[in-house]
Amino acid sequence: MAPGEGAGGHATRDPADPTASAPRLALVCGLLFAVIALMILLPRSRGASSVLTVCVGGALIVAVTAARVRRELVVRISVVVVLLAALSVVAIWSAGEQGTTAGLGMTTLLVVAVPAAIVSALRDAHTVSIQAVFGAIAVYLVVGLAFALSMNLDARLTGDPYFAQVRTASLSQYVYFSYVTLATLGYGDLTPATALGRLLAVFETIAGSLYLVTAVSLVVSRIGSPRRARSQGDR
């Protein structure tokens, strides 16, 4: 029986095969893009916040299933994510503005946990592949979301306007400012008004620059790695 064939001679997919995670990481990217679009386009409402929480929780569960870990651990993590997302939605609908802030905090925890699952899915990837590209894109999107939610939480907890130009900013403005800062574009239409806000902006600029430099250098260094390994093995 040839490797990779089942009892009936049919090809089977190895669950430890890194390429098996590519479709799921692509779905994670799609869900994250949907979250960003909803944050920018949806009005400020409890329903919108609930939808965002559910989408982020779904992205985390898909990322966890893409990671090559034991099925029991995947089930446990998924249960925790579902409970946390449910608590976030309940808080948003039951406790007014304070509940929305608590729900936003739990959503931020879900967002921050996504990169850990993605890194676990890519930990054995030694070459440039489609799943590595999707994983790198997803992590970049998560960084922008995490900073946007952190800025929103800062304004909610302190009660001070985060931007000098707007007294009560919308989630759309936080997301827009976050990705403009992450990409080091610096349009200047929105600027942080507080010391903590400026510090977050500095951290995000550094994180965005270092991530792009690191990601590009890793991609360039691993292009052609299998070919070089085969040529050395033939000698």
Q: What is the pLDDT of residues 143-193, one digit of tens each?
A: 999 999 899 888 888 888 999 998 888 889 999 999 999 998 888 899 999
Rounded to whole angstroms, the Cα distance separating 46 from 52 reads: 10
Task: Confirm if 59 and 114 have CB atoms less than 8 A apart.
Answer: yes
Q: Residue 86: what pLDDT? A: 87
Q: Residue 16: what pLDDT? A: 45
Handedness of CA 184, 187, 190, 195 (dihedral sign): positive
E strand or H helix at 105, and its extent? helix 96-121
The low-confidence residues of the chain, meaning pLDDT below 70, are 1-21, 68, 96-99, 123-128, 219-235
Q: Residue 182: what pLDDT? A: 93
Q: Residue 198: what pLDDT? A: 93
Strand pairing partners for 11?
Answer: 5
For the chain, the structural domain boundaries read: 21-222
Rounded to an integer, what is the distance from CA 147 to the centroid of its chain? Answer: 11
Residues 200-217: b if buried by 16+ CB within 10 A, e if exposed: bbeebbebbeeeeeebee
Q: Residue 125: what pLDDT? A: 62
CATH number for the 21-222 domain, one of 1.10.287.70, 3.30.1330.10, 3.90.79.10, 3.40.50.720? Answer: 1.10.287.70
Q: Residue 123: what pLDDT? A: 67
* Integer angstrom CA distances of residue 15 from 29, 56, 68, 73, 216: 21, 25, 8, 15, 28
Q: Residue 175: what pLDDT? A: 93
Q: Residue 193: what pLDDT? A: 92
Q: pTM here?
A: 0.78
Rounded to whole angstroms, the Cα distance separating 53 from 57 reads: 6
